Structure 1
Amino acid sequence: MLLSRKSEVEQSDRGHATGEVQRLLRLEASAILAASTTVFFHFGGELWVFALLFLAPDLSLVGYALSRKVGAGFYNAAHSYAAHVLLAVAGVLTGLALLWQVALIFAAHAAFDRGLGYGLKYAAGFRHTHLGTIGKPVRGDC
């Protein structure tokens, strides 16, 4: 049962996944990491390209220099599976292999982050994600 304990049901309205649902989302992300990486290399992707671009989505963190809201927006745009799928479709439709390869690398990166518990961000701050709060609670946390 996904929500098997009363405490998990009570926590489910806190704005982020908890308990079994959180673990399932992280497991799902690990599967996406494995699948996107496998497909990339199966279709001839080069290791140096993968290594060069794997951390590129984290350049979106520069948005936090402007504000938490802008930072969360930039981060979520770069780490959204929907954006990766659209980029992959554009690559397939245009015949530009680099587009779908970049999409697979970015999806692998986002899945890696989510597997570690770094989810999509809320405007409240970098630590507040759809997978829960990153790190130990600090004073003044929302």
Structure 2
Amino acid sequence: MNMCGHVLAAPRLILRSEGFVVLVASLWGYRHYGAPMLLVPLVLFLPDLFMVGYLASTRVGTAIYNTGHSYLAPAALWFVATVIESPGTKAAALVWAAHIGMDRALGYGLKYPDSFSNTHLGRLNLGKSSRTDK
């Protein structure tokens, strides 16, 4: 980790690889539960609605975004789905986890409150061609 709080080098690659594994495992679980795969492209990006907090401020946006992009949220939803015995809710939790895994695999980590581009996996250079792991 560097002075900015970014994970670098091998640990960063491991975290991004873990995200990919979560993406694949979540989609496999979704399919295993018999949920319609045609819905995945329609709902996979719904967790990005948590970005709406950035309309208020960067600090509010960060708090809301990180709440929706932490594995704790879909894990809690999975727990509730298990208690209430709701396969549809379990499917929603799996797609939510898949979204987070996809984001992490692509390098979109949890945000720091100074900037949307500043994540625990490195600074996002949105629209720029330079590397994010300097």
TM-score of the two chains, using structure 1 as the length reference: 0.84
Aligned AA (1:28): E
Aligned pairs (5 A) from 1:100-111: 100-111=90-101
Residues 1:125 and 2:125 aligned together: no
3, 13, 29: which one aligns with 1:23: 13
- Alignment of 1:62 onto 2:52: yes
Q: Where do 4+ consecutive residues of structure 1 move more than 4 Å?
A: none
User: Relative CO higher for 1 or 2, CA cutoff 8 Å, sep ≥ 6?
Assistant: 2
Q: Distance in 1 between matches of 2:108 and 2:33?
A: 28
* Residue in structure 1 matching 2:22, options 32, 43, 49: 32
Task: Extract unaligned runs of 5+ from structure 1.
Answer: 1-10, 137-142
Q: Name the count of aligned residue pairs.
A: 126
Code of the residue aligned with 1:72 in structure 2: it is: T
Structure 2: tracts of 5 or more residues without a match: 129-134
Aligned-partner residue type, residue 26 of structure 1: R
Q: 64, 82, 88: which one pairs with 1:92?
A: 82
How far apart, in 2, do the equivalents of 1:48 and 1:73 lie?
A: 31
Please tell me the root mean square deviation across aligned C-alpha atoms, in Å: 1.2
* Aligned-pair CA distance for 1:26: 0.2
2:35 partner SS: coil
Residue in 2 aligned with 1:47?
A: 37
Letter of the aligned partner of 1:131 in structure 2? L
Deviation at 1:100, TM superposition (A): 1.2
Correspondence for 2:124: 134
Distance in 1, Cα, partners of 2:3 & 2:118:
14
- SS of aligned partner of 2:96: helix
Paired-residue identity, %: 37
- Distance in 1 between residues matched to 2:20 and 2:40, nearest whole Å: 17
**One-letter code aligned to 1:17:** V
> What TM-score do the two structures reach when normalised by structure 2?
0.89
